[in-house]
Structure 1
Amino acid sequence: MHTLETPAGVVKPVNRKRRRRLHQSRRAVWTARIVVLVLFLVGWDFLRREVVAEFFVGNPWRVWDILVDWVGSGFIFDHIGYTVSATVLGFLIGTAVAVPLAVLLGTNRHLYRVVDPFLNAGYSVPKIAIAPLLIIWFGLGLTPKVVLAAAIAFFLVFHTSVAGVRDVEKDLTDQVYLFGGTRWTVVWRVILPTMVLQILNGLRLSFPYALHGAIIGELIASHNGLGYLLASARGTYNMSAMIAALIVIMIVALTFVALIDLLQRWVPSTR
């Protein structure tokens, strides 16, 4: 039989064309993003000058001045560090509890049916409703923010992870048992590698919400953090400062989501 062979000289031009198209596509996307941002700023400036009082919508140029001042003085970094510490600690604690529990319940249907109503009851409670209770229990320090972030991260990571466990094909686990594998072998060799994508998706989804939990705690009672900045600006009716704090929060969230996206690319099973 004859096999078709692609000349080596043909592959390089094709790869160059693909890279060129990819580069052009990225450039078009970034150009469109910049255009959208410019139009948004122009519309915002027009709105505050011609339609609505600046008191209600802030001033984009004032927001920029505030951000430059915060960064230049280093003022903002202490607050970012406080909020990120609470978020990351809560995120790690919630994930460390959620993943093993998802494996345990996902591989044991009877136990899952017993626990499921209690998990759904906990998930249905608005986390902002338990924030005052946590502050009474743990005070005004970092702990209630960490607990609130952990609670939010736990439920989101748990549900995506347990779905990943249940998506594992039964034939694969049966084959492992057939060749003498143990329950631990099934978990380590089959379930965990299969559910990596779901875990990472859960992490990507849960981090912004864990950040929300930490900020909610700071909004209610704190002397530090981005939530405290929001509350402080609200207390003085400084709309521009409130918007500046919201922009910082968005930048922090997007940074960590981008890091998780990079992690997804590095994990072979997610490619």
Structure 2
Amino acid sequence: MSAIAAARTTAPTLPTLPVDEDFDGAYRRKQRIYRIAVLTVRLAIVAVLLGGWQGLSGPVIDPFWVSSPEAIGDRLIEWTRDGTLAANAQATLLAMAIGLVLGSAAGIVAGFLLGRVRLLGDVFNPFIIAMNSLPKLALAPLFILWFGIGLQAKVVMTALVCFFLVFYNTFAGARDTDSELLGVVAVLGANSRQRLTKVILPYTLAWILTGLRLAVPYSLLGVVVSEITASNEGLGHLLKTSANTFDTAGTFAAIAVLVVVALVLNIVVTRAESLSSRWK
């Protein structure tokens, strides 16, 4: 037996450190308990606010001005039973979805093209800045004149709002792709197609997702603004009609539905963002 083999045979064995197999499970339990505690506190705050609102409405404040949670709940039940809520919510969500898809797709294509072709970006950048500087609400009368008060005007307004949010993020990602990384893959022999698919597109994708995360809640805002301006259906129309008829309960009920829709959209966007981060 050689000296090296003998040394290996007679070398003392290092002690094995104890491994806590339940560490990951304990951490998950702590996180679950923390989330439950946060949710409980949130629900308690909502309950206190609603209870205080219900208690003050009538004895202290005239219900004409603030209504009450009970009256708002009754109005929501009434709208649910007669189909008013479902019909108007469907109109709003449909316009939001179409406008979001069209505006985001146009923003991705235009942003990537102008970001990668510097000549086009330098030529059209002032025009895009000028268009984005215009208040979107100021364009609503033109959209109504061109497309009427139906679905088309709401889709165009929503698509315009989403376009600029997605465009600028895509443009920044496409133009600011890491030049050193592109140089490295070029040295390794990558051709133009490989640089595009392996470096530029993945790098730009993170920026696109950021733009989409911003565009989703703003798409709801664009639809509601269009419906309040001029429309014959939708949650914004329901809100405006209730306010114009001094229906305080109906006004707060429409606002409550919009808040719920916004919260659901925020949860969906947050979940999608976490999945994309896990992929990265």
**1:246 corresponds to:** 255
Q: Tell me the amino acid that sits aligned with residue 64 of structure 1.
A: G
Checking the alignment, whether the CA contact within 8 Å between 2:242 and 2:250 is kept in structure 1 is yes
Q: Which segment is superposed worse, 162-171 or 202-211?
A: 162-171
**2:201 corresponds to:** 192
**Cα 1:219–1:6, aligned 2, differ >3 Å: closer, same or farther?**
farther
Residue 259 (1) aligns with residue 271 (2): no
Q: Tell me the amino acid that sits aligned with residue 201 of structure 1.
A: T
Helix, strand or coil: the match of 1:49? coil
Deviation by residue 1:80-120 (Cα, 9 ceiling, x = unmatched): 11111111100000110111222222223343232222111
Q: Tell me the amino acid that sits aligned with residue 143 of structure 1.
A: Q
**Cα 1:40–1:270, aligned 2, differ >3 Å: closer, same or farther?**
farther
- Give the total of aligned pairs: 269
The Cα shift of 1:260 comes to 2.6
Checking the alignment, whether the CA contact within 8 Å between 1:157 and 1:202 is kept in structure 2 is yes
CA distance in 2, matches of 1:148, 1:217: 7
**2:233 corresponds to:** 224
**Which of 32, 38, 48 is matched with 2:41 structurally?**
32
**2:3 corresponds to:** none
Checking the alignment, whether the CA contact within 8 Å between 2:216 and 2:269 is kept in structure 1 is no
**2:182 corresponds to:** 173
CA distance in 2, matches of 1:124, 1:16: 52
Helix, strand or coil: the match of 2:177? coil
**2:25 corresponds to:** 16
- Percent sequence identity is 34
Q: Which segment is superposed worse, 204-213 or 25-34?
A: 204-213
**Cα 1:254–1:270, aligned 2, differ >3 Å: closer, same or farther?**
farther
**1:206 corresponds to:** 215
Structure 2 unmatched ranges of 5 or more: 1-7
Report the TM-score when normalising by structure 2.
0.87
CA distance in 2, matches of 1:99, 1:4: 57
Checking the alignment, whether the CA contact within 8 Å between 1:196 and 1:269 is kept in structure 2 is no
Structure 1 unmatched ranges of 5 or more: none
**Cα 1:5–1:178, aligned 2, differ >3 Å: closer, same or farther?**
farther
Deviation by residue 1:54-77 (Cα, 9 ceiling, x = unmatched): 222222211111112222343211
CA distance in 1, matches of 2:119, 2:265: 37
**2:5 corresponds to:** none
**1:83 corresponds to:** 92
Q: Which segment is superposed worse, 249-258 or 23-32?
A: 249-258
**2:224 corresponds to:** 215
The Cα shift of 1:180 comes to 4.4
Computed over aligned residues only, the root mean square deviation of the Cα atoms, in angstroms, reads 2.4
CA distance in 2, matches of 1:190, 1:52: 62
Checking the alignment, whether the CA contact within 8 Å between 1:264 and 1:270 is kept in structure 2 is no
Q: Tell me the amino acid that sits aligned with residue 245 of structure 2.
A: T
Q: Which segment is superposed worse, 179-188 or 54-63?
A: 179-188
**Cα 1:127–1:68, aligned 2, differ >3 Å: closer, same or farther?**
same
Helix, strand or coil: the match of 2:58? helix
Q: Which segment is superposed worse, 110-119 or 97-106?
A: 110-119
Checking the alignment, whether the CA contact within 8 Å between 1:48 and 1:58 is kept in structure 2 is yes
Q: Which segment is superposed worse, 174-183 or 137-146?
A: 174-183
**2:169 corresponds to:** 160
Checking the alignment, whether the CA contact within 8 Å between 1:207 and 1:253 is kept in structure 2 is no
Report the TM-score when normalising by structure 1.
0.89
The Cα shift of 1:199 comes to 1.9
Larger radius of gyration: 2
Q: Which segment is superposed worse, 131-140 or 252-261?
A: 252-261
The Cα shift of 1:47 comes to 4.3
**Cα 1:124–1:270, aligned 2, differ >3 Å: closer, same or farther?**
farther
Residue 121 (1) aligns with residue 133 (2): no
**Cα 1:175–1:223, aligned 2, differ >3 Å: closer, same or farther?**
same
**Cα 1:264–1:3, aligned 2, differ >3 Å: closer, same or farther?**
farther
